[in-house]
Amino acid sequence: MRKKNLTAIAENSIDNICLINMFDIKENLKKLPDLPGVYMHKDSLGQVIYVGKAVSLKSRVRQYFQSYGKSTPKLRALTDQIAEFEYITCGSEMEALILECNLIKKYQPKYNVLLRDDKTYPYIMVTTSEKYPRVIKTRIIKKDGNKYFGPYSDVGAVNLIVDQLNETFGLKRCSAEDFPKGFRPCLNYHIEQCQGICQGDVDEKAYGEKIESILAFLSGRDKAFIRELKDEMEKASSEMRFEDAARARDLIMSAEALAQAQRVTMVSGRDMDVVIPVKDDENSFVVLFTVRDGKLVGRETFDIASLDGDEAKLLTAEFLKQYYEKWSDVPHDILVPELPDDAALIEEFLGRNKHKVKLSVPRKGERLAIMKLAKKDTLELLNIIKDRQKSSKEKSASLKKEIDIILEAAREAMHLSTDINGKAQKSQVRSYRVESYDISNTNGVDSVGAMVVFEGASKIRKDYRRFKIKTVEGPDDYASLREMVYRRFIRANQGDPAFKILPDIIFMDGGLGQVTSALKAMDDAGVKIPVVGLAKDDSHRTRAIVFADGSELDLKEHPLLFKYAGTIQEEVHRFAIEYHRNLHGKRAITSVLDEIEGIGPTRRNALLAHFGSIDAIKKASIDELASVPGMNHGAAEKVREFFSK
């Protein structure tokens, strides 16, 4: 298949979708074509819950509504939720595989095995398409003839190595390629960090040799690179170019440190990756070992979202497709502990950049030795992960006990029984859901409210909410809190899905005044939920839990709760200030004062800062207006005259 055909399919995944209204599954199963393609199962809300590929759409999709769809708990759960399906016909199974990858990335269906990797990793790019190549960091791969290395998970290391390579070799930094007569060199030339390509002072062949050394180093072949650097250092030292020698020395130290961290395994000097899936009752992840020039040079771990019943080889298959799809250069050899079902098709997919990729299970020799090493390392990693999970569970259990105590004390302070709104509020297995609120404004201007949500120790960012305060003028935080909390719970009562989940307890940013304000708002909304305040000391650190009856719990004796409460308080404060600053900056505080002759931004802001609100300015006398810094008697008369109309 030609590359342009693959690109067209990857970019245009909607052309052949069969969209059906008032969906009748039985009728539409009859219409399925006996062709390769991709199918998408949807639930009753129209959300894509599974994406799959098929050699024959007619045979494959029908299986879900026959015995196959009841063969495992996962498939039974999936089939029970299918309300409709769509399909896309393709020219071959290979085209279907490419399209399947794109649609999984787009929809993130909950019944697919998903690679939890939404980060954009940095790459090192060598612009070999240019006459004098540059070495730069990038996060975007293009088919532009340049060399890309990565992706790398350590951004700091990428920045360091790019800077040192540029400084040591005096590489070209600017993107310009044509230098007309009289072209003025940049600062890098004057501080001797560029050899002066723009001045015609650089031999193209010598420059190219340095680029070849850099390419070898980035490919994992560091011995020749380090040897060349040592020669450069000794030469610079003998010529008394001590700064150049020092730069070469620093790069040698970085390269040697990297080499020392590598665990050497003799694999005939080949480049390969080792992919190990791990799945137990609690964990699903893939460990990727990178072998370059016969050396194991890196290990990365990727969390996988999978369900009970997903086999390890399924994790391997989905990882291979989703991870390497974004790579510009896939190694020729990939070792796996067990071949996936579509091994041949995946090999063709991974080798689409015109070189053969082989998936294999090693049976003997050096390849088996490195697989055993990778498996042993993975088992150790799994033990570490389990230890961390155990520690995390113990902390979560301790935190839950502490919140149990806080919750009971809050109910007592509010004179609530353990039965609130007719529902027994018993200690639950799940983590407590906590909401916290804060207000931010500038002298009462652009007053906003923020709500953050935690479940146990986890931030639930999708449930964060922001409010513009509408009914309060001036810097009245208590009234603003009452408005925000009332709006939050009245919308819950009205069935707004954005506010339908109620918290187990509310942590107010502040003391008794904030607690009282929240309770008044919830009483008006007809809601009874325990509320506590987070009081700060003179150093603005959370010092105590404040209850509705004015009693306090000192957090000095509760270090875990102290850290938890402080985290919540910092988060809601950050979220409120961030929203206020964004709103404040966008509007640049425009107001009716801008309509008054002689009142510009400086006087407008001074009046708002002094009086706090437009209402207060309206009521002020001419003498009071004139006393504001920047104002005079004439300007005060203009303001008084404007509002008197």
601-605 long-range Cβ contacts below 8 angstroms, 24+ apart: 602/630, 603/628, 603/630, 603/631, 603/635
DSSP code of residue 415: T
Q: CA separation (Å) from 306 to 9, 141, 280, 525?
A: 27, 28, 11, 41
φ, ψ at 173 (rounded to 5°): -105, -35
Q: CB–CB of 385/544 below 8 Å?
A: no
The answer, as to whether pTM is greater than 0.75, is: no
Q: How far apart are CA 122 and CA 127, in angstroms?
A: 15
Can you state the angle between helices 155-169 and 204-218, rounded to 10 degrees? 160
Q: How far apart are CA 455 and CA 384, in angstroms?
A: 25
pLDDT value of position 520: 93
Q: How far apart are CA 385 and CA 529, in angstroms?
A: 37
pLDDT value of position 304: 83
Q: CB–CB of 602/632 below 8 Å?
A: no
Helix (H) or strand (E) holding 545, with range, is strand 542-546
pLDDT value of position 463: 92
HSE-up (13 A, CA, CB side) for residue 534: 26
DSSP code of residue 317: H
Which residues lie across from 445 on neighbouring strands?
442
Q: CB–CB of 533/397 below 8 Å?
A: no
Q: CB–CB of 323/115 below 8 Å?
A: yes
For 104-115, the pLDDT digits (tens) are 887 889 899 877
DSSP 558-618: -HHHHHHHHHHHHHHHHHHHHHHHHHHHHHT---GGGGSTT--HHHHHHHHHHHSSHHHHH
For 538-548, the pLDDT digits (tens) are 777 888 999 99
| Low-confidence spans in the chain with pLDDT less than 50 | 1-21, 258-267, 419-429, 586, 588-589
Q: How far apart are CA 274 and CA 292, in angstroms?
A: 11
DSSP 192-254: TSS--GGGT-S-HHHHHHHHHHHHHHHTT--HHHHHHHHHHHHHHHHTT-HHHHHHHHHHHHH
Q: How far apart are CA 545 and CA 547, in angstroms?
A: 7
Strand duo 445-455 + 465-468: pairing = antiparallel
Q: How far apart are CA 160 and CA 25, in angstroms?
A: 58
DSSP 224-235: HHHHHHHHHHHH
Helix (H) or strand (E) holding 468, with range, is strand 465-468
pLDDT value of position 420: 42
